[in-house]
Chains A and B, each alone.
Chain A
Amino acid sequence: DIQMTQSPSSLSASVGDRVTITCRASQSISRYLNWYQQKPGKAPQFLIHAASNLQSGVPPRFSVSGSGTDFTLTISSLQIEDFATYYCQQSYTTPRTFGQGTKLEIK
């Protein structure tokens, strides 16, 4: 199985901050990586794919980069609604695997 490791596990930041979350795969996954956002008590929501294009409705302050084994999700200017847990997920092969999550909290 491909192991996905996110860092940090948690992050405190303020509205307006720029934050970066890192996701590392245990082997190359090209650019087959998805990011999801989950708020407490809710289902995850698909956010963005590493190879593209924002999901319709996702604000442009979210951006992704990376390929191979190392990827980042950047939020350029945090808004209150961005405080949530973020998961990466490799879509390169089955079993489909997720990172352990990064909890983004208000400082």
Chain B
Amino acid sequence: QVQLQQWGAGLLKPSETLSLTCSVSGESFSDYYWSWIRQPPGKGLEWIGDISHGGRGYFNPSLRSRVTISVDTSKNQLSLKLRSVTAADTAVYFCARLFRLGVITQFDSWGPGILVTVS
């Protein structure tokens, strides 16, 4: 059973860089893609991007210019950096496993989420 744990700073000032880490245990990190998804308070879900264990990434064009997603396979961790944050980036940030079966994909395991407030 895969488990995802998240940590990072929960309060930022405008223009700072959001930095979160997600640690994966219980499953082979290298067999999957891993993703970041966010949810503003009281609102819906927004996909940020995916990354493979080899570092191949896919990003939401709306955030691409400010986002870096990286992996550390030696630690089974993925990281998210979002530069130049504003109040609009206030959200709960989730990491998730992207299960892929042929062309079928789904976020089948999620971290607990971490609230990041920009104020």
- Given A44-B45, A87-B45: A95 in contact with B106 (beta carbons within 8 A): no
B35-59 vs A, CB cutoff 8 Å, 1 = contact: the mask equals 0000000011111001000000010
Contact for A98 among B47, B50, B108, CB less than 8 A: B47
Q: Flag if A95 contacts B60 (CB, 8 Å).
A: yes
Main secondary structure of the interface of A (DSSP, over half): loop
Q: Flag if B47 contacts A87 (CB, 8 Å).
A: no
Interface size of B by Cβ–Cβ distance < 8 Å? Answer: 23
Q: With an 8 A cutoff between CB atoms, is B14 at the interface?
A: no
Q: Flag if A98 contacts B106 (CB, 8 Å).
A: no
Which residues of A from 71 to 97 have beta carbons under 8 Å from B? 87, 89, 91, 94-97
Which of B43, B58, B60, B104 has the largest count of A CB atoms less than 10 A from its CB?
B104
Which residues of B from 88 to 103 have beta carbons under 8 Å from A? 94, 96, 103
Q: With an 8 A cutoff between CB atoms, is B73 at the interface?
A: no
CA distance A87 to B96 in the complex (A): 15
Q: Return the 5 tightest CB-CB contacts between A and B, nearest first.
A: A43-B110, A96-B47, A98-B45, A95-B60, A91-B105
